């Protein structure tokens, strides 16, 4: 075996073992959308820049989202959302920190797990549980699911004049495709 | 009499069209036409990312919701969730400028390769691990 072949072989096996040691996964382009359905109007907004880190050894997950990066169908809705309801200048980010106690990173099958954690929106913390579908992908894992939150839980002030336009319960969907985290 | 009715009818129709158009313009405006928007700040991607890393709250008040013209070296172009994103080198190992491209930019994006220096115009939304620009167009 030539020297170069030996070096390549050693490097490949080192890379393979390095890959196995990677416990952290990241996405900078997580997709999160929310929906408000009322008889007056339907409001939808999407954000494609959620940042999330998943640690499969600790079975922990952290997500941070810029509120101003939610894109609405109508510019006026976006303005109201940022200026009046979420107050994005004061509370620019929403965060979620949670754990997946029974997560098994070695499974190749689709698994459905409950993620328990704290969602912080508009400066208010709320304990929630999110049912999440976890798929193994070519690179790592994809997390997806949907859940609901009550706007009353987050101290969001909706003026009586638009009360009928905004649902009391907001539906949220998400899809995060993780990649190995390499510093 | 019939002629009068026709004129009134036409007038009403015209009025409805005008009102409808105005309503559409005011309430159904989907974002801003970034090409027509006046540029607030011209900056390099590296300087923009450094500003956020140095003092995020100061950078937020300087750049957030402003129309920026940014020049930088393309690090990566990807297509995820039905949209194109261009990452410009931020000078740091990990932090970049993440540019969410407008859907009408596909032809221009397909010609862009990593390593190329380009100019992008978009609206700054803040900073997470990267500085984030939405509604982006490639400038020639």
Structure confidence by residue, pLDDT tens digits, B26-46: 544 455 688 888 999 999 999
Q: Above 50 in pLDDT, residue A150?
A: yes
Q: What is the reported pLDDT for A117?
A: 97
Closest CA to A25 of A58, A70, A69: A58
Q: Binning pLDDT at 50, 70 and 90, where does residue A7 land?
A: very low
Kindly report the CATH number that applies to the domain delimited by A23-180: 2.40.128.110
pLDDT < 70: residue spans in chain B: 1-2, 20-32, 140
Per the CB < 8 Å rule, is A74 touching B60? no
Nearest CB to B125 within list A64, A66, A73 = A66
Specify the higher pLDDT residue, A123 or A160.
A123
Per the CB < 8 Å rule, is B80 touching A177? yes
Specify the higher pLDDT residue, A160 or B24.
A160
CA B135 to chain CA mean position, Å: 2
A70 phi, psi to nearest 5 deg: -75, 130
Q: What is the reported pLDDT for A18?
A: 46
What are the boundaries of each domain within chain B?
Answer: 1-30, 41-139
Q: Which of B57, B80, B101, B130 has the highest number of chain A CBs within 10 A, making it the mutation to test binding with A?
A: B80
What are the boundaries of each domain within chain A?
Answer: 23-180
Cα–Cα distance measured from residue A177 to residue B87, given in angstroms and rounded to the nearest whole number: 17
Cα–Cα distance measured from residue A125 to residue A94, given in angstroms and rounded to the nearest whole number: 10
pLDDT in tens, A30-43: 999 999 999 999 99
Per the CB < 8 Å rule, is A69 touching B81? no
Q: Binning pLDDT at 50, 70 and 90, where does residue A17 land?
A: very low
Q: Above 50 in pLDDT, residue A15?
A: no
Q: Above 50 in pLDDT, residue A11?
A: no
Quick one: DSSP state of residue B90?
A: -
Q: What is the reported pLDDT for A175?
A: 97
Specify the higher pLDDT residue, A40 or A2.
A40
Mark out chain A residues that contact chain B at CB-CB < 8 A.
Answer: 28-29, 31, 48-49, 51, 64, 66, 68-69, 71, 73-76, 92-93, 175, 177, 183
Residue range A101-122: mean pLDDT, rounded? 93
Nearest residue of A to residue B26 by CA position? A76
State chain A's mean pLDDT as an integer. Answer: 88
Q: Above 70 in pLDDT, residue A8?
A: no
Helix spans in B28-64 (H): 45-54, 56-63
Q: What is the reported pLDDT for B109?
A: 95
Q: What is the reported pLDDT for B100?
A: 97
Residue range A158-180: mean pLDDT, rounded? 93
Can you point out the beta strands (E) in B90-130?
Answer: 96-101, 117-127
The superfamily CATH assigns to domain B41-139 is: Nucleic acid-binding proteins (2.40.50.140)
Specify the higher pLDDT residue, B27 or A168.
A168
Helix spans in B28-122 (H): 45-54, 56-63, 106-110
């Amino acid at each position: 075996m030539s020297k170069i072949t030996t070096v390549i072989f050693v490097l490949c096996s080192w890379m393979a073992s390095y890959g196995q040691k990677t416990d952290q996964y990241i996405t900078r382009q997580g997709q999160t959308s929310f929906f408000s359905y009322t008889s007056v109007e339907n409001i939808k907004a999407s954000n494609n820049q959620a940042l999330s880190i998943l640690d499969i050894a600790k079975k922990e997950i952290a997500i941070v989202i810029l509120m101003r990066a939610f894109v609405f169908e109508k510019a006026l809705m976006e303005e109201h959302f940022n200026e009046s309801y979420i107050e994005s200048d004061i509370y620019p980010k929403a965060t979620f920190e949670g754990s997946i106690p029974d997560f098994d990173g070695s499974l190749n099958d689709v698994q459905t797990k409950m993620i328990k954690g704290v969602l912080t929106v508009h400066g208010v913390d709320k304990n929630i549980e999110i049912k999440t579908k976890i798929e193994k992908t070519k690179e790592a894992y994809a997390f997806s699911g949907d859940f609901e939150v009550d706007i009353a839980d987050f101290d969001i002030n909706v003026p009586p004049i638009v009360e009928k336009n905004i649902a009391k319960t907001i539906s949220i969907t998400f899809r995060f495709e993780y990649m190995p985290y390499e510093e | 009499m019939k002629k009068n009715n026709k004129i009134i009818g036409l007038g009403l129709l015209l009025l409805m069209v005008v009102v409808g158009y105005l309503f559409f313009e005011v309430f159904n405006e989907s974002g801003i036409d970034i090409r027509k928007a006046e540029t607030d700040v011209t900056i390099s991607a590296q300087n923009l990312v450094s500003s956020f890393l140095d003092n995020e709250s100061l950078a937020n008040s300087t750049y957030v919701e402003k129309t920026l013209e940014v020049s930088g070296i393309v690090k990566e172009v990807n297509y995820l969730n039905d949209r194109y994103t261009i990452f410009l080198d931020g000078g740091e190992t990990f932090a970049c400028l993440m540019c969410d491209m407008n859907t009408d930019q596909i032809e221009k994006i397909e010609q862009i390769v990593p390593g190329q220096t380009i100019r992008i115009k978009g609206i700054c939304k803040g900073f997470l691990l990267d500085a984030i620009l939405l509604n982006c167009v490639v400038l020639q």
